[in-house]
Each structure stands twice: as structure tokens, then as C-alpha cells.
Structure 1
């Protein structure tokens, strides 16, 4: 058992507080060492600090809130009949120096049955079978809170993939099955309206054209809604060399025709003016060098020895390459400066 809470509280309020507010300890003697560690680490000093500052009236409400919180923690770990008791001597005392909380977890409940309501009439047989198979995989596993959250996510994802983008959970229940250490899980969903893809409008465009970006869409207007298609579209936008960032926004509901009118917010990559100007200057230097080489060639032709009217081949090629590189660099940077992105 740890007295860390008492030590911390004494730093806040001094010795006078210990006489007015008891030390809270947890008697972690359950059969699960992991649960014992979770309970010891979960002892909350926040309410104790508030009591020390005079924001809580008396020690009983603080201890009761802590007791209920620890019970909920154990139930979230799958111990659905868990409770936390206080020692009898502590309850009878008027102003005890110490309060001992004793966790009684009871049996660990496992998932025995999972029911999903709200699928009738909206999901196909294939979707319902897929959901049922996923729910059956949870049978026999501890009825923990994180498992229930995972089951909800699985149901929501499968219905969104079945073209119900606004499906949400309206109710959830976890109840013990009488006479067994098994639990019944019930998830109620509201599928909402089915949807198809509508048009995509863009914002943030500077140099790009909508027609160019529309070719990246892996869907067409009127196709059933599919979140995976949206992910592929986002990846295709980000893979475009002129797109720095992309965000797809869905409306809050389908329109009168059952379509989702999407909005793509883009940020185009901008060319820095100093970089463009620097390369532009490089192109000018290359062009000047090529022109100078050609001028020297023309002047020097007259000085060639009789019977020869051409320079060596490599001297003929170098000016041509310099000119080609110069024109390419200048044209590229002029276009980028005129049309950023």
C-alpha cells in the first residue's frame, strides 16, 4: 500500500490538513496483479487537493466520489459486479485519520452475446453478415470498455462503407447474463440516409485548373459513397507535384437528390522568388556564355588554316548545349513566376 497521496497533500496544506482530512489508501489484494496496479495508479488526488483548498465540504463526499470512480474503473475492466467498500471503523469514526478503500472486483465477465439493432431495412445481407461475423469474434473476450469501443467502430465503419456516411450510435448497453459470468452487449445505431457522390468544388486554386484535378477522382458523380474512395482521392491530390496540402470536407447532410457535395481545400506549393530569380540569373549567364562562344567561333573561322573551315566537333557541340540549357532554365522560371505552383 502506498501513502503517496498523504505525502502530496501534506505539501499542499501542512500538518493542519491531516487532522481535518483523512489519508486515503487502497487495499489492493485482488487476485489480479494487473488490476491491483491499475487501482494503485488510479487513486486520484485532484478532489483531495480541492478539499485542501476549501472547495469541498467535508471528507465524506470526496471519499464517496473516489469510491464510485474506482468502481466504474473496475467495471470498465470487465468486472461488472465490482464494488469498493470502506472499512467499518472508518465509517463509524467522525474524523478518522485514515480511510481504507477495499476493492471487491468479483468475477471477470466475458462477452457472451452481441446484438446490433438498427440494421434492418437499410443494410444488405452481405453487410449484416459481415457485421455478425465481426461481432462473433468478440465472444469469450473480457467485456472491457475498450473492446466495446472497438465493436462500435467496426459497426460504424462497415455501414459507412455501405454508403451511410452519417451513421451514429444512439444507445449502448452492457448487462450481465443471469447465472453466468457472461455479458450481453447491445449496440443501437441510426444509419441515417444513404448517399452518393456529388460534385467536387475546389478552393485555394492559383495555377491549377479544376479540370486537371477532376481527372484524379477515383469516382464519378452518382457513384455510391465510399470512404475508401475519398482516401484514394486525397492521396492522389497530395501526390500531385503542385499540391502542398489537401483537405476534403463533407457536408452535414445529403442534398435533396441524396448526394454529397464535396469541397476540396488545397494549398499549392509556391516557388520562392529568390530561388526563381537565382536560377533565372544562371540561365542568363549560360545564354551569354553560349553567345560569346558562338561569336568567338565566327571570328575565328577566318583564322583557320587553309583547307579547314570547321572547328573540332566538341567545340561545335558546347555552344549548342549551353544555349539549350539557358533557354530551358529561363523559360521554366518565367513560367513558374507567372503561374505559381
Structure 2
């Protein structure tokens, strides 16, 4: 309870506190006007105006707004020059006073209004667009020509193209030696002349390596593969950097050109690398309503022997809690990779793996050991060729048997996707041929052929159409002469969503089932962005399995559904729900949860 005798003094105290308490500053008004300017130009001006941004900040001081306004003159003129307006007028006023006329010592305590007025003037066109000398084959920007808009960015791009043309012709020290830009304001034209200095033809010198890496210098040289003594080529320099990056042993790679040339116009190249952590551990999980959970993981050493060698152990447990009649599938593999064993683009791999598969229609325990060579043909095209000994102990509806094959896997991958985990554009092609030589047990000789093709087509900024086709064939060997893990089944998350896992196979006359010797899988998706992080997906999958090596007798089934993707920044989390559309291999609704797009 408050004593009534205290009310007057209490009111006085409150009034005093209110009078001295800080009051929130009134918001600063900020406007930009550019009469007659195209919308794109006006938007560019607004995006570049620092004073507009500063005025919108609630805690910006008058000094902050003043400093931004002073900087805006040059920034806005630069925006207009970049778009070919060379006679503009720019006024930035603070409470009606030109910011350029204010002294930094007389800035008011508060600024209530920022106004930017821009008169762009007429857009200029090139009356002359000349750059010389040019290296043969130089490709200048199409807009650098008389009569075209005289944008400053076009002049800069032409100068860069001219220098790049000479560098591609081994003139590493090519530079812009001078330029003349003459504006005719009454005619609104610009005469642009750029003079280049190609400099001498240059050869690669030595690779000068900065110390600090755990990778030995001789291995750094071998992996980089810098063509010392040969004519300078900027693409060769880029390839050397990419070779070092793709080993995974380095957090960063930096190649620098020496400022001065050595004897015979040779140019040394400096190399600085920062090592990645030696070891890495990773895990993954996927979940299907019928197939159960799949848990996978790996452990990797990035620089095992000091030569950027990589040793990786992978494990996977699949079918945990599955409802399709099989049990859990276990796999463990180890792979050793050593880059640059024959040349800079050829590596060596050694592989050992064991699997214990408990599938609905067969059980198989197998082991593989061997090795081979890897080859990087281009940044997008790579291949492998090897020799592996494979032993399998199997049991299926054809009986129990042991199979031993000497295999010769050869594969080629052409990857032009913009993002391996969440592709929006490009394509992916992967093909392999694995000859099988029978060396023991009930094995038969033959070959396994597989191909996987994917294509991605954006429609606008929010829609992506994705398609996938898979084919497989076992030729030259019967179904009981190869391990069932090399035969084909359809249904489940990797083939036809909505159909039960491996529900489509080859039905034998006595009611038994085995895998097919031919397979076709087709998938289509429409991916629609809802927000920056959320994507809705509609999909349709179809699969074929046949008893012969080529598509002839056999059965099809299909499924369709809807999905949701949530972008985590390192890849989307996937949730799909699907049901059968065609075929008699299943019914009901299934769901799938995983990381990354379905394909």
C-alpha cells in the first residue's frame, strides 16, 4: 500500500526520471529518385546506396549516415558508368543540405531525412571499340563493338579477354599498357581504345614449395605435375592445383606466378598448401517403412605414408528392423588410394571387402580383394580399371554353391552436375563392364554390364525436372553361374519407390524366385522450391526384370508419390511417401527417409 502523503513526491520523481531517460530516436527517412531511369538501373542504384542502408539501421548514428552519404557519390557514379551513363548528376542531401558541402566537424546530432536525386543523362554508345594487339583466336565480348552500349564493364571484360588471350598463348606477363576513353557528350558516344603489352613468351620454371606440409616435397611435385620447361599455359596451372585439391589431403592450395622472369624467360611457380586434418570420421542413416534402417559410416586417413595416400574403411548395416523376409546385411571394406603413380593423373588403388547378405530370396557371404588404376581424363571424366578375386558362398532357390571368379572391372564416369548432392542442372553418366572369369566351384564365365544416366533441367528459378535411366545385364553366364548379388531385383528406395524391397524378380515354374539377368529402371521427378530451404517433389518410378541377358520376357512394375526436401546447407534431408501404380508385387503406402536427393 502507498501512503497518500507520498503521492506528490512520487509523481515528481517519475516526471524527473521520464525527463532524463533516453528516448528512442525517430526513424530517418530515406528516398532515392531517378526520373526516367530504367527499373533495372534504379534497382542497382538503390542496392548500392550505403546511405539508404545506414538510414534503415535503428542504431545508426548521424555520423554513420554522413559517412555513407559521402561515399555514395563515387559508388552511384560507378553504377551508372558500368551501365553506360557518362554524364550523370548525383545529389545526396541530408535534411536538405548537400552532403558533399558539409564539414565532418559540423554534422548535426540527428539526421531526419536522406534524399538521393540522380539524373542519369543519356546512355552512351561506342563510337569506337578498339583493342590491340590481340593474340590469334582471342574471343572479345560481343558488346565491345561500335553502336553497342558503352558500358564500363564491357570495356573491362574486353581488356581482360585480351590479356587472357595472350596468356593462353604463353605470354604470362601480358598486361594493359594504356587506354584512352573519350566521351562525346553532345553525341552521347564513347571512343574506347585499349593498348596491350603481350610481353615475351614464357616457359614454366621450377615449382618452389613453401615448407610446412606433412606431404613430402617429391610427392607434391609428382601430384601437381607442373610441366616444367614447357610453354606457359594457364590451364596447366589450374590442372596442377586441381590435382592437389582432389587428393583431399589439403585444406587449401595456392599457386602463384613469380613476379620476375628467370633465365630464358622461365617463370617459377610458388606452391603453398595447408594440410587437412589427418583423420576423418563420418556416419549416415536412411530409413524405409518396409526395408528398415540402414546405418553406414567410414573412417579415413588422408596422408598415410606422407605421400597424400588415402586409406578409408567403410561399414554398412542394412535391413535393421526390415519387414520383407530377409535379415540384416553387413558389409565392411577397406580401400587404399595413392595418387600420381605413373603420371600426375593416374593413381593406384587396393581394395578388400567382405559382405554377409541376408536378402528375401537368397543369402550370400562374399569376399573381394584386388586393385587397379584410376585415371582422371578431364575435370569431369574419370575411369578405373582393375583386377579383383571374388569368392561367394550362396544359398538361394537354385541350391547351395560356392563360386570363385577373377573379375576385371572397368568403369567410366562423366559428371557434369552442378552439385553432386543436390543437382539443379547438368547430367551424370556412369558405365561399367566387368568380365567374369570362372576359376572355381560352380562359377561360369561371362560379363556384368551396368549403366546409369541422369539428367537435370531447370525451369526458371524454382522448378527442376530430373530423370534417371538404369540398365543392367549379365551375359555369357547362367543365373546359377554367378553370385545372386550380381543379378537384378527391383523395388525399394534404390529402384522403384512404392514397391516393396526386391519384390520384382524372376519367377520359376515351381514357385521359386531368383534374380534376373536383365534390368531396366526409369525414374522421373519434378522438384519445386517452396522456400529457400524447402522443396516439394513429385516422382514416378518404373522397373523391369527379365530372365535373359537382354530385355525380352520379363515383368514391369511402377510406383509414384510425393516428397519433401529440407536443405541443410551441406545437402538436403529427404522424405518420400509412395504407393504402387502398376504390377502385382505390392500394395499399401511406404515412406523413405535419407540424406541427399534420391538421384
Report the equivalent of 2:123: 108
Higher normalized contact order (CA 8 Å, seq sep 6+, divided by chain length): 1
Inter-partner Cα distance in structure 2 for 1:196 and 1:166: 11
Q: CA deviation at 1:151?
A: 1.0
The equivalent position to 2:231 in structure 1, one of 224, 234, 241, is 224
Structure 2: gaps spanning 5 or more residues:
1-21, 99-107, 274-302, 315-332, 336-350, 355-366, 370-389, 394-438, 445-599
Report the equivalent of 2:154: 147
Q: Does residue 35 in structure 1 map to residue 65 in structure 2?
A: no
Q: CA deviation at 1:47?
A: 4.5
The equivalent position to 1:268 in structure 2, one of 308, 313, 317, is 308
Inter-partner Cα distance in structure 2 for 1:196 and 1:163: 7
1:165/1:225 contact within 8 Å kept:
yes
Q: How does 1:1-341 map to 2 (within 5 A)?
A: 16-17=25-26, 23-44=29-50, 45-48=52-55, 53-54=60-61, 56=63, 63-85=69-91, 90-91=96-97, 97-116=112-131, 119=133, 127=135, 130=137, 134=140, 138-139=144-145, 140-169=147-176, 172=179, 174-177=181-184, 179-198=186-205, 204=215, 222-231=229-238, 249-252=255-258, 253-262=260-269, 268-272=308-312, 275-276=333-334, 279=352, 317-318=440-441
Instruction: Map Cα deviations across residues 275-305 of structure 1 (whole Å, 9 max, x no partner).
Output: 4499489589x99x9xxxxxxxxxxxxxxxx
How many residues are paired up? 261
Q: CA deviation at 1:77?
A: 1.6
Q: CA deviation at 1:186?
A: 3.6
Inter-partner Cα distance in structure 1 for 2:208 and 2:256: 11
1:78/1:110 contact within 8 Å kept:
yes
State the SS of the aligned residue for 2:123.
Answer: coil
Instruction: Map Cα deviations across residues 3-28 of structure 1 (whole Å, 9 max, x no partner).
Output: xxxxxxxxxx965355xxx6231123
Instruction: Map Cα deviations across residues 46-82 of structure 1 (whole Å, 9 max, x no partner).
Output: 544799654718x766544434432332222211101
Structure 1: gaps spanning 5 or more residues:
1-12, 120-125, 290-315, 322-341
C-alpha RMSD of matched pairs (Å): 5.1
Inter-partner Cα distance in structure 2 for 1:67 and 1:239: 43
Inter-partner Cα distance in structure 2 for 1:208 and 1:91: 66
Instruction: Map Cα deviations across residues 111-133 of structure 1 (whole Å, 9 max, x no partner).
Output: 2223446x5xxxxxx72x655x7
Instruction: Map Cα deviations across residues 227-286 of structure 1 (whole Å, 9 max, x no partner).
Output: 244456667x5899xx557968354133223223457779734123784499489589x9
Q: CA deviation at 1:154?
A: 0.4
TM-score, structure 1 normalization? 0.55
| Gap change, CA 1:101 and 1:270, over 3 Å in 2 | closer
Which one has a larger percent strand, Structure 1 or Structure 2?
2
Q: CA deviation at 1:318?
A: 2.9
Which one has a larger percent helix, Structure 1 or Structure 2?
1
Inter-partner Cα distance in structure 2 for 1:258 and 1:149: 28
Inter-partner Cα distance in structure 2 for 1:112 and 1:149: 17
| Gap change, CA 1:14 and 1:155, over 3 Å in 2 | farther
TM-score, structure 2 normalization? 0.34
State the SS of the aligned residue for 1:69.
Answer: helix
| Gap change, CA 1:61 and 1:269, over 3 Å in 2 | closer
1:17/1:52 contact within 8 Å kept:
no
Inter-partner Cα distance in structure 2 for 1:168 and 1:112: 24
| Gap change, CA 1:36 and 1:245, over 3 Å in 2 | same
| Gap change, CA 1:248 and 1:112, over 3 Å in 2 | same
